[in-house]
Amino acid sequence: MLQYLKRVIVMLAIERKNEILAILQKEQRVLVSELSKRYDVTDETIRRDLEKLESEGYVKKTYGGAVLNKNTKVDMPLRIREKTNRSEKQIIARLVSDLIEEGDRIMMDASSTSLMIAKELKSKSKLTVITNSVEVLIELAGHEGIQVISTGGNLNETSLSLVGNAAQKVLNGYHVDKAVFSCKGIDIHNGLTDSNELDSDIKNVMYSCADTAVLAVDSSKFDKVSFVKTMQMKRGDILVTDRNLAEEWKAFLAERGVRLVVPEE
């Protein structure tokens, strides 16, 4: 009984930390006093949670609370990213699904946006999907008419992605109609950027293996620059986002020959 109670306490602590991270993703800062009331625990318990999150690189403690660590090398766990900007990603997922034709062969990365897109793709009756995402594999597994191919490779536990030379080798063995992926930041001068080299390398390989790149990027990523430069957009690429863009961005994309897809007003 004692061991069971200990496991329950540990699980509750993990869930609480994940929820705190999700709040930080949305609001950028938290207060110890507010969190202790929210979860009905002591201030000291919350401080320990924040100390743990700080040691993992996700937050920076401040007087009375903490702020989100903007260090572009730190990648939030997929479980947290799934909860962030969900409505925006759902809009993007529907738009991307409309771009995917029956019979298409596509590659998909391990972003939380791709997972949303995979849910929409289950309405298709004939597709081939090659992915390095554990979650996308599970989402599409057993769906009649959709052939799913895993890259294999080394598991990145934070992003639940399969990465490394083995994954890249599998991708390089295929040619597909479309590659669908996201990024951590998109900037006019720096192009697409990501938080680590391994995931960035996978996206570059997917990009080179596809006739058309579909870049699915929610509006919070624009004018942000992360740690690793991934690629510059080129003519024929399709950029899908959840809202209309500023005139500067529209002019830039038009000059580059990149098609912009946004929701109808």
As given in the structure block, the two tokens for residue 23 are 């709040």
pLDDT in tens, 161-219: 999 999 999 999 999 999 999 999 999 999 999 988 999 999 999 999 999 999 999 99
Which tens digits make up the pLDDT trace of 10-35?
446 778 887 888 788 778 888 999 99
**Average pLDDT of span 105-130:** 96
State the pLDDT at residue 77. Answer: 64
Residues in the chain, overall count: 265
* Cα–Cα distances in angstroms (integers) from residue 258 to residues 234, 241, 247, 249, 262, in the given order: 6, 13, 14, 11, 13
Q: Return d(Cα 227, Cα 72) in angstroms, integer.
A: 5
Tell me yes or no: is domain 2-70 CATH 1.10.10.10. yes
Ranges for all domains in the chain classified under CATH 3.40.50.1360: 79-261
Provide the mean pLDDT of the chain: 89
Ranges of CATH 1.10.10.10 domains, the chain:
2-70
CATH number for the domain running over 79-261: 3.40.50.1360
- Give pLDDT, residue 80: 59
pLDDT score recorded for residue 94 = 97
H or E stretch covering 246: none
Strand ranges for 103-251 from DSSP E: 105-108, 127-131, 146-150, 154-156, 161-163, 176-181, 185-187, 191-194, 210-216, 228-231, 238-240
Query: How confident is residue 4, by pLDDT bands cut at 50, 70 and 90?
Result: very low
Cα–Cα distance, 135 to 155 (Å, whole number): 12
